[in-house]
Amino acid sequence: MIIGAGLGGLTAGALLLKAGHDVTVLEAHVYPGGSAGTFFHKGYRFDAGATLAGGFAPGGPHTRLAEILGLEWPVNPVDPAWVVHLPDGRSITQWADANQWRHERRAAFPTAEPFWRTQEQLADLSWEIASRPFPWPPQSLREVLTVAGAIRPSTICALPYLLRTVGSIAPSDDPMFNAFLDAQLLIAAQTTADYTNALYGSAALDLPRRGVNHVSGGIGALAHTLVNRMRQHGGEVLYRQQVTQIEVKDSRVTAVITNKGLRQTADFVLANTTPWALNTLLGENSPSYLQRKMQQRKPTWGA
């Protein structure tokens, strides 16, 4: 049983289905995709959030998923990715082609080249680390050993940047450059350079270089592709079913209950939700460590 038909929930569901499990996805909304969904209003399509998609380059997560599941994504590459209009009237074109982008950024920000070299190195490290399947955070000694086995010599180079922000490695003498970074990160990381982790932020700034794509029919077509694949292979995706409770008996999940009165038994539940939402759904059965974490952390907004 999977709670939430965002791309994370649908991806997990499609992979579990291929592995031979019976899978049902419950979605509170009337369409799949979450913030990467497309809705209709008065005969028009509107993307709920993102309008361009990444991850389709060779070795990218969507490319790897398509190879595993035998999918064909309805996407077309876009170059340039986008154009940023600065407060001083200049326009910066974000080219996917590496040489064009290097020429563009040198012309716009001639003193920032050391930053871009560091950003690209950190982005390459981030993508490399993300491409290795390992459990995080590890929950057992076996998983700790799995994480240790995923470490490469190149990974060590990322250690000095684990606790740094993009803002801390960026030049601070050019307000237009800082405005440019913030504009990129507000889109890709939902915050500004001073609050974005250097490794994650470098990957977020790397989206044009990695390639972005237009999705035919709107961004939600990605989710619909996964929904169709699941249904064709015996999986279920149910809409307008907001899970309100996860039932637990003898420390094991037994069922979920929705706002429509539907009760679905389950051997395992994957909650594609925030920790706060999961804590609420579990109620008094929420693990003590999760309750403590939720008390220590303030609720945050989510898309």
| 151-207 pLDDT, tens digit each | 777 778 888 898 999 999 999 899 999 999 999 999 899 899 999 999 999 999 999
pLDDT tops 90 at residue 50? no
| C-alpha to C-alpha distance for 208 and 201, rounded to whole angstroms | 13
Strands 212-215 and 75-78: antiparallel
Per-residue CA distances from 210 to 98, 125, 222, 261 (Å) = 9, 13, 18, 45
pLDDT at 149: 77
Spatial neighbors of 168 by CB under 8 A, at least 6 apart, are 194, 198
Amino acid type, 138: P
pLDDT at 301: 65
Q: Mean pLDDT, to the nearest integer, of 234-247?
A: 98
| DSSP3 helix / strand / coil % (the chain, rounded to 5) | 45, 20, 35
Say whether the peptide bond before residue 137 is cis (omega within 30 degrees of 0).
Answer: yes
pLDDT at 72: 97
Q: In this structure, what are the phi and psi dihedrals at residue 271, rounded to the nearest 5 degrees?
A: -100, 105
| C-alpha to C-alpha distance for 106 and 95, rounded to whole angstroms | 13
pLDDT tops 60 at residue 129? yes
Distance of CA 176 to the CA centre of its chain: 28
pLDDT at 97: 92
Q: Where are the domains of the chain?
A: 2-75+215-272, 80-210
Q: Give the mean pLDDT of the chain.
A: 92
Is 2-75+215-272 a CATH 3.50.50.60 domain?
Answer: yes
Q: pLDDT band for position 298 (50/70/90)?
A: confident
Query: For residues 243 and 26, is the Cβ–Cβ distance under 8 A?
Result: yes
The position carrying tokens 């049983």 is 1
pLDDT tops 90 at residue 302? no
Across-strand partners of 26? 3, 238
pTM of the predicted structure, to 2 decimals: 0.88
